[in-house]
Copies of this chain bind each other. A is one copy, B any other.
Amino acid sequence: MATKRLAVVLAGCGVFDGAEIHEATLTLLAINKQGAEYQCFAPDVNQAHVVNHITGQEMKESRNVLVESARIARGKIKSLIEFKAADFDAIIFPGGFGAAKNLCSFAFDGVDCDVNPDVEKTIKSMVKARKPIGALCISPLLIAKILGDVKVTIGQDKGTANAIISMGGRHVTTTHGEIVVDEKFKVVTTPCYMLDANIAQIADGAENVVKAILEMI
């Protein structure tokens, strides 16, 4: 049987302005441990902003999402514009504010946010190909914004859950490591750091998402 190939879409490098590093790293670990291969992607766009992760303050800098995401991927990354659904068996979006700042504008614009066109095209191409999509932490909101009537979880945060419902999605409350599966769209989601979690709980969530996805392929 051919090795299953998963795409992982990053949104920068750091929880407050990019991809959440633990969620991204532990997604790659879960894929590798479960015998599949990964290829990282990120959109080649500037970050919405750069945040000092100690103070939480915005820094007067400009950084590129693809270039910063390459830090997590150890340089082995491709621009999301190169992504083709035919080349992969599934796709996963780790979380971090980058998903709500760089992949869509939810953090600034709320439910009426814009979505990066390459992200939207990527997700729709996977749905059309009937291939599974995983999303961690805040990223399920991005999936709901694009797909509408999809069942997801971001854990227990009422504000974000209500935003998902406003987008036409359905929200299921969950706790650490639990996953929610939407059979119609083949979407698998887990809350990760949307809960007050420790890093071992993030590893559990990532492992459970990857396991469910590999079983669907």
Contact = CB atoms under 8 A, between A and B. Distances in A.
Interface stretch (A65-73, A99-107, A129-137, A172-180): A65-73
Contacts of A193: 74
Contact of A21 (B54, B66, B72): B72
Interface in A1-43: 13-16, 18, 20-22, 25-26, 28-29, 32-33
Interface string A35-73: 000000000000000001110100001000011001111
Interface residues of A, number: 33
Contacts of A32: 198-200
B33 A28 contact: no
A40 to B, nearest CB: 11
Contacts of A15: 71, 74-75
A29 B67 contact: no
Given A54-B67, A200-B29, A22 B74 contact: yes
A203 B30 CA distance: 11
A199 B29 contact: yes
B13 A14 contact: yes
B74 A13 contact: no
Given A21-B21, A199-B28, A74 B61 contact: no
